[in-house]
Structure 1
Amino acid sequence: MARVGFLMLICFTFCLLLTPATAQEGLSMESDTVFFTSKRKKINIPFDLVHNLIIIPVQINGSQPLNFILDTGVKNTLITHLYHNDSLDLKDVNKITLSGLGEGHSIEAYESYGNEMFMRGIKGINHQVYVLLEDVFDLSSYMGMPVHGIIGYDIFKNFIVKVNYSNKMLTLYRPDTKLKKKRKAEEYPLHIEGTKAYVYGNVRQHNGDTIRVKLVVDTGASHSLSLYLPSDERLTLPPKVMKAYLGRGLSGDLHGNIGRVDAFALGKYELEDIPASYPDEESIKLAINIGGRNGNLGSDVLSRFTVIFDYPNSKLTLIPNHRFKEPFNYNMAGFEVITPLPGTNYYVISNVIDGSPAELLGLEPGDQLLDINGKKCAELLLPEVMNILKSRPGRTLRLRLKRQSEILNVDLVLQSRI
């Protein structure tokens, strides 16, 4: 089964349908409250951007700042991994079992109520937190830095949230703020159902059909578009697809196909030749019938705009940025890269795609990347490495690798398979 790097961090929305498999009685269900700690009208929070995902610092109960992925699709704050020097004084803890999307088993977690959450200029009380007892996502290795968890709805429901992907700046406004409309900005209805936010867009398929689709808006998905074939009989696979491992859910692996749609449009903005994932029905059986959704809209599309999420007023605003017209590329090297020592520039091949250029050259999981085109990998950040691997079809990469005590030199030509 092929494993595709650009989808390795797929869709924390449908990976994280937090469904307690074991009900707990007597738990307090108080709603949390998140508010500004001053009279300021807005708060600016710089963020890191890796694999199109937003990473922000969050403190729980006075902890040291922890790195959280900001995910519009996740309902509850989820702690996926704690390091030996991390300490959380969690309140009202109960052990539960969680199930989610995937083809495996449920996992155990701690559920905690009554916590305090802190970000720059804001505070949350009565905060609900889940702590996984098994790090099923291994986010730190794929993000190249320590990642402790995922946070989302608790932030978006309380503020107007502007994400400037170009400047890597998150701005939170009070919900009654009236923002001046920018030139080229286009507003869309944002349909809030439960804790999920949806938009309607149009997908133009290879056969010329244009289909209106209802999509979960998901900043926690690194890919561009995911479509659920069982949700609409008119949705079809493109003629050129590859079987792929799409990512990891709470209950196991997610499998499916990857191909390209001719175009995807939101209002007047149309993006062409977009990679789309088509998860197998078994992988998404818990999501197919929720909210009449047809899939999700990920951050490889969102990051081409400055995005204003206005949950309080049910609006989404998009303003194109400098990446709007860039082609949609993906990792064409045929192997995935992780950092076993997050926070260092130490890169190792985690797996190799069947039939890819990397497999034909004999590359293997565990091979360490030393140089790319004469540039030492120790001097490259993970996003820089990934940008090289998805740069353009036909590009030759001169790779120097280390396998145990052996040094390998290979010339790898990037190849598009969809």
Structure 2
Amino acid sequence: MSVSYVVFVMTRFSRFILLCLCFCLLFSEAIGQAFASDTVYFTSKRKSITIPFKLVHNLIIIPVQINDSKQLNFILDSGVKNTLITRLHYSDSLSLHESGRISIQGLGTGHEIEALYSKGNYMRMPGIMGMNHEVYVLMEDVFNLSTRMGMSIHGIIGYDIFRNFIVKINYSSKTLTLYRPDLKLKIPKKGEVYPLHIENTKAYVEAGVRQHNGDSIKVKLVIDTGASHSVSLYLPTNDRLQLPPKVMEAYLGRGLSGDINGKIGRINSFSLGKYELQDLPASFPDEESIKAALNLANRNGNLGSDILKRFTVIFDYPHERMILVPNRKYRDPFYYNMTGFEISTPLPGANFYIVSHVIDDSPAKESGLLPGDQLININGRDCKELALDELLELFDTKPGRKLRMRLKRDSKLVNVEMVLQSRI
């Protein structure tokens, strides 16, 4: 049986500090076994295919078609094993086969949510076909991805791509290159190879963390291209892991089952083989928010895209290895929300930006910024002419930079000034 869905548009948007869009989805073992029958392959005899992607909030957005749908925007998330439709818009329709209903659970402090699941579908990307594809459709748009990303986001895809190809992510050129899985790629001159541990569809790597007290700890981290932060550490998994002396309470993001809260603080360094990154922010989720993940694969946290984007990354699941080549951003300093406010885009695709949340004791709070303010002009630049990633670059420059902002508040224009500062 084929069923067509037109999913309603959610009008409410949440304050959403995007440290982790999507931690793991924790489906039952029986559901997870469905992947054994799905096939994804090249539609030609080429050895590789290169696909441009968009990068917003450090997250990779690629074009995907499901059955006869138009081109949809999916986040490429190595931390997710099931293809997930998070939201369709009024103009979107999608025909799915053999549908049923299921309750699913993930990280967060809430409960299970309802989803439709469907087997026997086709998945298409440029030059790629997937057969007998399994798709899940959330009955509620719990992530609100479109308002956060500034464009229509329809879903999340991960393991189906990584397990079937050798995947090269070039963050500098914003290109995704997929190679046939039987190829033996030549290791770039400046590249370093790391063993990957593939466990229950997820890839893990061993890294080193040096804390404020000089203590160095080896940690096992799941690699998560769908997490926009640098690194997340789970304190309950190792008695030696400690909070930094200076931290701030933070809303870390939205898991499938609810909000993820915790703290943000800086660690002295993070090392992968010969590469060592200094003075970077780490998130420390509350135990309640991550209890569903604490007993999975003895992991100590996850490695996110604020680190990965400083390299060209080759994920070679077929040969259980990862290759890193540093790019021009390798030595860039790590900044974290130096304005103290969040923005959303209630009209995804339009350069229309609204202040969604203002953090206490922040530059934004001191300057008088209020939730609901519309951004009109920043340092002489019209916000209507700024894409979201361009706007975010203005907020991520070095501490001490002054921002002169014109806002619309209750039909009146308001001018404010703030100075960027690091609070951790």
Partner of 1:128: helix, strand, or coil? strand
Equivalent residue for 2:130? 124
Percent identical pairs in the alignment equals 65
Name the amino acid aligned to 1:256. Answer: G
Describe the superposition over 1:139-188 as per-residue Cα deviations: whole angstroms up to 9, x where unpaired: 01111111000000000001100000000110000011121221110000
Equivalent residue for 1:146? 152
1:103 aligns with 2:99: no
1:255 aligns with 2:261: yes
Equivalent residue for 1:388? 394
Which stretches of structure 1, 4 residues or more, deviate above 2 A after TM superposition?
Answer: 18-21, 27-30
Shift of residue 289 of structure 1? 1.0
Name the amino acid aligned to 2:195. Answer: P
Which of 20, 27, 37 matches 1:10?
20
User: Could you tell me how far apart the structure 1 residues matched to 2:50 and 2:206 are?
Assistant: 29
Shift of residue 105 of structure 1? 2.2
Alignment of 1:132-171 (within 5 A): 132-171=138-177
| Residue 169 to residue 28, structure 1, CA distance change in 2 (3 Å) | closer
User: Could you tell me how far apart the structure 2 residues matched to 1:29 and 1:269 are?
Assistant: 35
Which of 112, 119, 123 matches 2:118?
112
1:415 aligns with 2:389: no
1:36 aligns with 2:42: yes
User: Could you tell me how far apart the structure 1 residues matched to 2:161 and 2:367 are?
Assistant: 47
User: Could you tell me how far apart the structure 2 residues matched to 1:29 and 1:305 are?
Assistant: 30
Partner of 2:236: helix, strand, or coil? helix
Which of 393, 401, 405 matches 2:407?
401
1:19 aligns with 2:27: yes
Q: TM-score, with normalisation over the residues of structure 2?
A: 0.94
Shift of residue 405 of structure 1? 1.1
Larger CA deviation: 269-278 vs 92-101: 92-101
Shift of residue 30 of structure 1? 5.5
User: Could you tell me how far apart the structure 2 residues matched to 1:333 and 1:19 are?
Assistant: 38
* Structure 1: unaligned runs, 5 residues or longer: none
1:299 aligns with 2:305: yes
Shift of residue 107 of structure 1? 1.2
User: Could you tell me how far apart the structure 2 residues matched to 1:135 and 1:181 are?
Assistant: 41
Shift of residue 402 of structure 1? 0.5
Larger CA deviation: 152-161 vs 358-367: 358-367
Partner of 1:140: helix, strand, or coil? helix
Equivalent residue for 1:368? 374
Partner of 2:92: helix, strand, or coil? coil
Alignment of 1:38-77 (within 5 A): 38-77=44-83
User: Could you tell me how far apart the structure 2 residues matched to 1:127 and 1:76 are?
Assistant: 10
User: Could you tell me how far apart the structure 2 residues matched to 1:184 and 1:168 are?
Assistant: 20
What is the CA RMSD across the aligned residues, in angstroms? Answer: 1.6
User: Could you tell me how far apart the structure 1 residues matched to 2:163 and 2:183 are?
Assistant: 14
* Structure 2: unaligned runs, 5 residues or longer: 1-13
1:341 aligns with 2:353: no
Q: Is the 8 A contact 2:81 2:159 kept in 1?
A: yes
Describe the superposition over 1:386-413 as per-residue Cα deviations: whole angstroms up to 9, x where unpaired: 1111211111100100012111101111
Q: TM-score, with normalisation over the residues of structure 1?
A: 0.95
Partner of 1:378: helix, strand, or coil? helix
Partner of 1:72: helix, strand, or coil? coil
